[in-house]
């Protein structure tokens, strides 16, 4: 066990190092090109930054509370408050150290199983939360595009393949939502048969028995998810909406700290642009989209950065935003996961 700690710690530091390097390079270049630090000193925050900081902290709390609440409701109370909080930390930590396209779902399934859930129940629960995430995205995008039009993307988006990539990504999310809904809630018996047939492959034969047990358990757990009270599903979806909305509004609060007052910002447009940007973060090959997220922030939100008299506002926005939405989970993971591992170690 001791020998495995340094690689895990190093892996957690990689996205942090990438993000800080990008922000640091941008900050250094900006300062050097504009007369050094003495020329920009004192232009880091706006007068109303304490209110904006308070809003940012409240949004972080709402975001994570939503994640915890939906785990509680979708598990039908099987997860305690502590279990749900620790699972959220493990899940978000895994997402922070893996590429966007990979995510932390597999680690969440393992974490729930480690806390006493069957493998099938853990899978059904994680897939159900993934379904709610995909539904929020595919339902939020069309009305925002309808009302805001091309304002949801940078000016040169039309002259590139940007919209093509975006709609392919949106379509994939819609397809994933449809597949999860079909596999778990419409025809779980078909999902069970597919797993059993895969288990017959020669290269999977050694795991045929556990895969067969997993298939039976997944079908049973899917049946349990279908019988959850409608209030639980409604609450879980509202919690999902609150979490993602709070995540996207966090950038508005950060901008109100260092770019422009709330009254000069356009919160709905800023949220809409993040929804478009999200597709590119999901296909990022870097851990936690580090480096890519900072670059995209500059490309998508340059019109707002132009409102600021501070030369380092873009770099400061990137740094604070990534601290609030990414780096915080690296820190929480390092603090929480070792104790959680000890408590959930199986005999």
pLDDT in tens, 182-207: 888 887 777 777 766 776 666 666 66
Written as one string, the DSSP assignment of 267-325 is: HHHHHHHHHHHHHHHHT--SBTTTTHHHHHHHHHSHHHHTT-S-TTHHHHHHHHHHIII
Written as one string, the DSSP assignment of 301-315 is: SHHHHTT-S-TTHHH
Task: State the maximum Cα–Cα separation within the chain, in Å, rounded to a whole number.
Answer: 70
State which of 172-181, 189-198, 245-254, 287-296 shows the largest mean pLDDT: 245-254
Taking the C-alpha atoms of residue 334 and residue 95, their distance in angstroms, rounded to an integer, is 14
- Assess whether pLDDT exceeds 50 at residue 290: yes
- Assess whether pLDDT exceeds 50 at residue 5: no
Compute the average pLDDT of residues 236-257.
Answer: 95
Nearest alpha-carbon partner for 87 in 100, 98, 103, 72? 72
Residue 326 burial (10 A CB sphere; 0-12, 13-18, 19+): buried
What number of other Cβ atoms are within 10 A of residue 270's Cβ?
Answer: 18
Q: What is the dihedral of CA 197, 199, 204, 206, to 10 degrees?
A: -140
Binning pLDDT at 50, 70 and 90, where does residue 288 land?
A: low
Domain spans of the chain, in order of start: 2-343
Tell me what percent of the chain is helix, strand and coil, each rounded to the nearest 5: 80, 0, 20
Compute the average pLDDT of residues 161-181.
Answer: 85
Q: φ and ψ at 99, to 5 degrees?
A: -55, 150
Which pLDDT score is estimated for 115? 86
pTM for the whole thing?
0.82
- Assess whether pLDDT exceeds 60 at residue 34: no
Structure tokens at 59: 């949004």
Which pLDDT score is estimated for 211? 64
> pLDDT (tens digit, 9 = 90+) per residue, 79-132?
899 999 999 998 888 887 777 666 777 788 888 888 888 877 888 888 889 889
Nearest alpha-carbon partner for 163 in 268, 279, 272, 270? 279
The rounded mean pLDDT for the chain is: 80
Which pLDDT score is estimated for 108? 84
State which of 8-17, 64-73, 166-175, 288-297 shows the largest mean pLDDT: 64-73
- Between 214 and 7, residue with greater pLDDT: 214
Q: How far is CA 268 from the centre of its chain?
A: 19
Structure tokens at 16: 């942090």
Taking the C-alpha atoms of residue 187 and residue 185, their distance in angstroms, rounded to an integer, is 6
Which pLDDT score is estimated for 240? 96
Q: How far is CA 279 from the centre of its chain?
A: 12
């Amino acid at each position: 066990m001791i020998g495995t700690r340094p690689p895990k710690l190093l892996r957690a530091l990689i996205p942090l190092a990438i993000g800080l390097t990008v922000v640091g390079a941008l900050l250094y270049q900006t300062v050097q090109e504009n007369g050094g630090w003495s020329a920009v000193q004192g232009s880091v925050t706006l007068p109303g930054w304490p209110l904006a900081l308070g809003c940012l902290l409240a949004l972080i709390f709402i975001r994570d509370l939503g994640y915890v609440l939906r785990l509680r409701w979708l598990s039908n109370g099987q997860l305690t408050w502590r279990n749900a909080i620790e699972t959220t930390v493990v899940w978000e930590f895994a997402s922070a150290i893996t590429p966007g396209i990979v995510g932390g779902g597999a680690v969440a399934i393992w974490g729930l199983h480690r806390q006493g859930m069957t493998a099938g129940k853990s899978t059904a629960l994680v897939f159900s939360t993934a379904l709610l995430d995909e539904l929020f995205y595919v339902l939020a995008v069309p009305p925002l595009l309808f009302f805001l039009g091309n304002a949801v993307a940078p000016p040169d988006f039309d002259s590139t393949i940007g919209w093509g990539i975006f709609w392919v990504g949106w379509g994939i999310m819609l397809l994933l939502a449809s597949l999860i809904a079909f596999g778990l809630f419409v025809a779980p018996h078909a999902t069970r048969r597919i797993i059993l047939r895969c288990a017959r492959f020669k290269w999977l034969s050694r795991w045929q028995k556990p895969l067969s047990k997993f298939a039976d358990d997944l079908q049973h757990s899917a049946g349990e998810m279908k019988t959850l009270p409608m209030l639980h599903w409604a609450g879980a979806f509202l919690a999902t909406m609150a979490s993602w909305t709070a995540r996207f509004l966090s950038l508005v609060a950060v901008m109100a700290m260092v770019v422009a007052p709330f009254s000069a910002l356009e919160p709905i447009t800023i949220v809409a642009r993040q929804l478009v940007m999200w597709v590119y973060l999901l296909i990022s090959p870097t851990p936690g989209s580090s480096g890519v997220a900072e670059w995209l922030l500059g490309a998508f939100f340059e019109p707002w950065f132009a409102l600021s008299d501070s030369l380092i506002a873009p770099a400061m926005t990137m740094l604070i935003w990534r601290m609030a939405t990414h780096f915080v989970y690296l820190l929480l993971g390092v603090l929480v996961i070792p104790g959680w591992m000890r408590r959930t170690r199986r005999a």
